[in-house]
Chain A
Amino acid sequence: MCGIIGCVGRVDETLDVLVHGLSKLEYRGYDSAGVALSGDRVDVCKKSGKIEDLRGALESRSIGGAAGIGHTRWSTHGPPTDANAHPHLDCTGDVAVVHNGIIENYQSLRDELATAGHTFKSDTDTEVVPHLVEDALADGADNEAAVREAIARLEGSYAVAVVVSGDDTIYAARNDSPLVLGIDDGDDERGPAYYLASDVPAFRDFTDRVVYLADGEFATLSADSWRVSDVDGNAVDKVVDTVDWDPEETGKSGYDHFMLKEIHEQPRAIRQCLRGRVDEMAATVDIGDLGDLLPTGVQFVACGTSYHAALYGAQLLRNAGIPAHAFLASEYATSPPPIGDALVVGVTQSGETADTLSALREARKRGARTLAVTNTVGSTVARECDHELYIRAGPEIGVAASKTFASQLAALNLFTLGTTRVDGVRDTIGALRDLPSNIQTILDESRAEAVAEEYVDSNAYFFIGRGLQYPVALEGALKMKEITYKHAEGFAAGELKHGPLALVTEDTPVFAVVTGDGEMARKTIGNVKEVEARDAPVVAVTDGQSDVGRYADEVLEVPETHPQAAAVLANVQLQLVSYHVADKLGRSIDKPRNLAKSVTVE
Chain B
Amino acid sequence: MSIDTAVVLAAGEGTRLRPLTRNRPKPMLPAANRPILKYVFDALVAADVRQIVVVVGYKRGRVQDHFGPTYAGVDLKYVTQHKQLGSGHALHQAREAVDGSTLVVNGDRVIDANIVRDVVDEFERSGDPSMAVLERPETSQYGAVVLHEGDVAELVEKPDTDEYRLINAGVYAFESSVFPAIDATERSDGELALTDTIGRLMDDGRVRGVRTEGMWVDATYPWDLLTVADEVLARGHVDEPQREGATWVDPAANVHDAAILQGPVVVGPDCEIGPGAVVGPNAALGQNVTVGANATVRNSVLDTDTRVESGSTLIDAVTGQDVTLGAGTVVPGGPADVRVGREVFEDQRLGAVVADRVTAEGDASFSPGTLVGPDAHIGTSVRAGGRIAGGAEVVR
Chain A residues within CB distance 8 Å of chain B? 246, 248-255, 261, 264-265, 267-268, 271, 274-276, 279-281, 433-434, 436-438, 440-441, 443-444
The minimal Cβ–Cβ distance linking B169 to chain A, given in whole angstroms, is 27
Contact A254 B321 (CB under 8 A): no
A440 to B286: give the CA distance in the assembly, Å. Answer: 16
Q: For B65, what are the chain A residues with a Cβ–Cβ distance below 8 Å?
A: 253, 264-265, 267-268
Interface centre among B60, B63, B78, B270 (most CB of A within 10 A): B270
Known: A271-B287, A433-B288, A437-B322. A280 touches B272 (CB 8 A): yes
Contact B322 A440 (CB under 8 A): yes
Contact B69 A274 (CB under 8 A): no
CB of B256 closer than 8 Å to a CB of A = yes
Known: A251-B69, A444-B23. A436 touches B75 (CB 8 A): no
Contact A281 B68 (CB under 8 A): no
**Of B56, B61, B252, B254, which one neighbours A281 at CB under 8 angstroms?**
B254
Known: A275-B252, A434-B305. A252 touches B69 (CB 8 A): yes
Interface centre among B61, B65, B304, B357 (most CB of A within 10 A): B65
Contact B287 A254 (CB under 8 A): no
**Of A253, A274, A279, A280, which one neighbours B78 at CB under 8 angstroms?**
A253
Which residues between 299 and 339 of chain B lie within 8 Å of chain A, taking CB atoms?
A: 304-305, 321-322
Q: For B76, what are the chain A residues with a Cβ–Cβ distance below 8 Å?
A: 253
The minimal Cβ–Cβ distance linking B193 to chain A, given in whole angstroms, is 25
Q: For B321, what are the chain A residues with a Cβ–Cβ distance below 8 Å?
A: 437, 440
Q: For B75, what are the chain A residues with a Cβ–Cβ distance below 8 Å?
A: 248
The minimal Cβ–Cβ distance linking A332 to chain B, given in whole angstroms, is 37
CB of B64 closer than 8 Å to a CB of A = yes
Contact B269 A264 (CB under 8 A): no
Q: For A436, what are the chain B residues with a Cβ–Cβ distance below 8 Å?
A: 288, 305
The minimal Cβ–Cβ distance linking A597 to chain B, given in whole angstroms, is 19
The minimal Cβ–Cβ distance linking B90 to chain A, given in whole angstroms, is 15
Contact A281 B272 (CB under 8 A): yes
Known: A276-B252, A436-B305, A441-B322. A253 touches B357 (CB 8 A): no
CB of B195 closer than 8 Å to a CB of A = no
Q: For B68, what are the chain A residues with a Cβ–Cβ distance below 8 Å?
A: 246, 248-249, 251, 253
Q: Which residue of B lies closest to A274 (CB)?
A: B270
The minimal Cβ–Cβ distance linking B162 to chain A, given in whole angstroms, is 42
The minimal Cβ–Cβ distance linking A155 to chain B, given in whole angstroms, is 42
What would 19 more interface pairs be, CB under 8 Å, given A254-B80, A281-B272, A281-B293?
Answer: A246-B70, A248-B68, A248-B75, A251-B69, A251-B70, A253-B67, A254-B64, A264-B64, A264-B65, A268-B65, A274-B270, A275-B269, A275-B270, A279-B272, A433-B270, A437-B305, A437-B321, A438-B322, A441-B357
Q: Which residue of B lies closest to A275 (CB)?
A: B252
Q: For A437, what are the chain B residues with a Cβ–Cβ distance below 8 Å?
A: 288, 304-305, 321-322, 357
**Can you list, as one digit per residue, whether each of B121-165 has a CB less than 8 Å from chain A (1) or not (0)?**
000000000000000000000000000000000000000000000
Q: For B288, what are the chain A residues with a Cβ–Cβ distance below 8 Å?
A: 271, 433, 436-437
The minimal Cβ–Cβ distance linking B233 to chain A, given in whole angstroms, is 24
A264 to B357: give the CA distance in the assembly, Å. Answer: 18
Q: For A248, what are the chain B residues with a Cβ–Cβ distance below 8 Å?
A: 68-70, 75
A438 to B252: give the CA distance in the assembly, Å. Answer: 21
Q: For A279, what are the chain B residues with a Cβ–Cβ distance below 8 Å?
A: 254, 272
Which residues between 50 and 77 of chain B lie within 8 Å of chain A, taking CB atoms?
A: 54, 56, 60-61, 63-65, 67-70, 75-76
A254 to B8: give the CA distance in the assembly, Å. Answer: 15
Q: How many residues on B have C-beta within 8 angstroms of the other chain's C-beta atoms?
A: 32
CB of B290 closer than 8 Å to a CB of A = yes
CB of B264 closer than 8 Å to a CB of A = no
Q: For B69, what are the chain A residues with a Cβ–Cβ distance below 8 Å?
A: 248-253
Contact A255 B64 (CB under 8 A): yes
A444 to B375: give the CA distance in the assembly, Å. Answer: 13
CB of B222 closer than 8 Å to a CB of A = no
Q: For B256, what are the chain A residues with a Cβ–Cβ distance below 8 Å?
A: 281
A253 to B76: give the CA distance in the assembly, Å. Answer: 8
CB of B274 closer than 8 Å to a CB of A = yes
Q: For B322, what are the chain A residues with a Cβ–Cβ distance below 8 Å?
A: 437-438, 440-441
Which residues between 342 and 371 of chain B lie within 8 Å of chain A, taking CB atoms?
A: 357
Q: For B269, what are the chain A residues with a Cβ–Cβ distance below 8 Å?
A: 271, 275
A281 to B276: give the CA distance in the assembly, Å. Answer: 13
A274 to B68: give the CA distance in the assembly, Å. Answer: 21
Q: For B61, what are the chain A residues with a Cβ–Cβ distance below 8 Å?
A: 264, 443
A410 to B136: give the CA distance in the assembly, Å. Answer: 50
A253 to B65: give the CA distance in the assembly, Å. Answer: 8
The 9 closest A-B pairs by CB, nearest first: A251-B69, A254-B78, A248-B70, A437-B322, A437-B305, A254-B64, A248-B69, A253-B69, A253-B64
**Please, could you name 15 A-B residue pairs with CB atoms under 8 Å apart, sorted by A?**
A246-B68, A251-B69, A254-B63, A254-B64, A254-B78, A264-B61, A275-B252, A276-B252, A281-B254, A281-B256, A281-B272, A281-B293, A433-B288, A437-B321, A437-B322
Q: For A255, what are the chain B residues with a Cβ–Cβ distance below 8 Å?
A: 64
A192 to B65: give the CA distance in the assembly, Å. Answer: 36
Q: For A261, what are the chain B residues with a Cβ–Cβ distance below 8 Å?
A: 64
A189 to B129: give the CA distance in the assembly, Å. Answer: 36
A280 to B256: give the CA distance in the assembly, Å. Answer: 11
Interface centre among A252, A279, A281 (most CB of B within 10 A): A281
A255 to B69: give the CA distance in the assembly, Å. Answer: 10
Interface centre among B272, B293, B321 (most CB of A within 10 A): B272
A553 to B53: give the CA distance in the assembly, Å. Answer: 43
The minimal Cβ–Cβ distance linking B119 to chain A, given in whole angstroms, is 26
Q: For B54, what are the chain A residues with a Cβ–Cβ distance below 8 Å?
A: 254
Q: For B63, what are the chain A residues with a Cβ–Cβ distance below 8 Å?
A: 254
Q: For A441, what are the chain B residues with a Cβ–Cβ distance below 8 Å?
A: 322, 357
Q: For A271, what are the chain B residues with a Cβ–Cβ distance below 8 Å?
A: 269-270, 287-288
Interface centre among A249, A251, A265, A279 (most CB of B within 10 A): A251
The minimal Cβ–Cβ distance linking A248 to chain B, given in whole angstroms, is 4
Q: Which residue of A lies closest to B293 (CB)?
A: A281
Q: For B290, what are the chain A residues with a Cβ–Cβ distance below 8 Å?
A: 280, 433
Interface centre among B54, B269, B293, B357 (most CB of A within 10 A): B357
A250 to B75: give the CA distance in the assembly, Å. Answer: 12
Q: Which residue of A lies closest to B305 (CB)?
A: A437
The minimal Cβ–Cβ distance linking B153 to chain A, given in whole angstroms, is 39
A274 to B64: give the CA distance in the assembly, Å. Answer: 22
Q: For A254, what are the chain B residues with a Cβ–Cβ distance below 8 Å?
A: 54, 56, 60, 63-64, 78, 80
A174 to B224: give the CA distance in the assembly, Å. Answer: 60
The minimal Cβ–Cβ distance linking B251 to chain A, given in whole angstroms, is 8
A433 to B76: give the CA distance in the assembly, Å. Answer: 30
Q: For A264, what are the chain B residues with a Cβ–Cβ distance below 8 Å?
A: 61, 64-65
Q: Which residue of A lies closest to B357 (CB)?
A: A441
**Can you list, as one digit per residue, whether each of B270-293 has a CB less than 8 Å from chain A (1) or not (0)?**
101010000000000001101001
Q: Which residue of B lies closest to A250 (CB)?
A: B69
The minimal Cβ–Cβ distance linking B250 to chain A, given in whole angstroms, is 10
Q: For B64, what are the chain A residues with a Cβ–Cβ distance below 8 Å?
A: 253-255, 261, 264
A308 to B65: give the CA distance in the assembly, Å. Answer: 26
A246 to B321: give the CA distance in the assembly, Å. Answer: 27
A253 to B79: give the CA distance in the assembly, Å. Answer: 10
